[in-house]
Structure formats: C-alpha cells, structure tokens
Copies of this chain bind each other. A is one copy, B any other.
C-alpha cells in the first residue's frame, strides 16, 4: 500500500496565528464579568453619592468594608470549592459553631490565640468531613453540606442549650472594633486573606488542581491527580475560613449564639456567583468574588443611607443582582460573536 508522507517537520500549520489571538479573547472573556461588575460598582457609587450626603465619607467606606468581612472571608473558601465543582452550604453553621467554641474557650480562661486556633481546627474538621463524604463516598456536595449544615447547627444548639455566650475579653472584642491606620482590623484580615489565597491560585498545584478538578474531575483523576485528597484540602480550607468568619462575627457583635449567621451561606454563594464563578466548576476568580461582595455591600449600605424601605430593599437587591449578571452575560455573549 502506498502511504503519503509530508516533509513538514516542525512546520507551523494554519491554526497558529489564529489561535494565538483567540487566547487573548479568552483572557478578556473572564475580565468581561469583572469589567461589568466594576461598572455596576461605579454606577452605584455615583448614584448613592448624589442621593445621600453621608455616602462619600471615609468613615462610611469603613462601614462598607466592615460589613463585607463576615460574608467575604467565607466567600474566599466558597469560591475555591465552587471552582472545584463543589458546594459548601455548611458555612453558616460552621461560623456559628466555631464562634461559640472560641467564645466559650475565651470565657473559660483560655488565651485568645489558642481559642481562635481551636475554632479554626473545628472548621477544618467539618470541612474535612464534607470533603471526605463528597469525595470518597461520592455523595452530592449539596446534600453532604446540607446534612452537615443541620448536624453542626443542631449540635451547636444542643451543646449550648440554645444560650448565647457573651464575650467580655477585650482582645477578642478589639478585633471587631479596632483600626490600623484608619482601616478596621477586620477589613485588614479580609484583604490579607484575599491576597494570600489569590496569590496562591495561579502559582501552586493547589490552585491549578482547583480548576482541573472543577473542569473535569474524571480527566484530572485519569491524569493522576489525587482528586479526592485535594477535595479534602478545598473543603478544609472553606471550613477554616468559615470558622474565621465566625470568630469575626463574635468579635464584632460581642456575643456568640447558636443561631448566628443563619442563612449566611446564601449571601456567600450569591457573592461568589455574582463574581462570575461558574457553578459548573472550572471557571472563576477570587477577584470577581471580591467585586461581587463589594457590589452587594455598597448596595446594602447605599439603600439604607438613602432610606429605601426595607421590603423594597429586597426587591431592589434582587433586581440589581439580575441586571448585573445579565449585563455581564450579554457582554460576554457579544464578545463571543465579534
């Protein structure tokens, strides 16, 4: 039989210049969501500045920053978990349980760092449980974390007898109230955590496998990635960050109660998805989550300053959420067809 063999060794094919440019579009595509969010943020800021004399105030920006912290810290871990194709509904419960543990330990006389460490260990523990069940037992992460949501919250009630723990420890409370160079400590914590994890994402196996597992867990496993072990890392991280968020709640409010942070998981997930992270996994960025958080926090703040009635606030928030996402999506769509 006669086969035909070309003499093309190493020669470029027609796709070269074409695809190289396609790449830049791909890079720009993610940015489209961020750009849209930045635009929404700008619109919000301009509108609220006009509508309220108190909005454009350094102190008010501290308010906005403080209001972002609890949901924001948990959103870092949630972003990781969702990019990795998972879901963590247990964060609200973990916040409450970890906060209660820290408060109780401090009240029992333990030093603050140890108490906070214990809370984080608790969060990691719940996270590892989530990761193990969702990974090794192959149980849907929604169901897994819905179950741990109920279990952890229930145990928090059982152990506390439903009673709140009031914290008097000055150091603990200072975390919630103090400022460094005019910036609230909790905001510093939030930003540092965002930068730290955000810096790891493109530079480490941890970050790369987050995307790989979320993009195609089967392919990642076939490529030799220990997918289930990495899931422990992702959920463990989410749990530990939720625990930190819980301690921040206690520091800010001065009390730890078993009912704290109920429903916080929805706020967290809203920010993550608004930030452009795909629920199908494999796509998303921490920076987007940060913008999503900011858009929501400024909206909350502005609507209150402007004096929008609280029922209407819900309506307005829902509409803004839809518009922001729709806009990002439309811009992305039009880019596709340029």
Contact = CB atoms under 8 A, between A and B. Distances in A.
Nearest to A139: B325
Which has the most chain B C-beta neighbours within 10 Å: A153, A314, A317, A333?
A: A314
Interface in A151-175: 151, 153-155, 157-158, 162
Contact of A155 (B133, B140, B151, B315): B315
Query: Size range of the interface on A?
Result: 35 or more
A137 B329 contact: yes
Contacts of A2: 1
A170 B117 CA distance: 60
A270 B312 CA distance: 30
Contact of A318 (B149, B273, B317): B149
Contact of A142 (B147, B273, B316): B273
Contact of A143 (B150, B274, B316): B274
A313 interface: yes
A169 B268 CA distance: 42
A166 B158 CA distance: 36
Q: Per DSSP, are chain A's interface residues mostly helix, strand or loop, or mixed? A: helix
Nearest to A310: B157
A333 to B, nearest CB: 7
A269 interface: yes
B140 A315 contact: no
Contact of A325 (B143, B313, B330, B333): B143
9 contacts: A1-B2, A140-B273, A146-B269, A146-B273, A148-B322, A151-B319, A154-B312, A155-B311, A162-B311
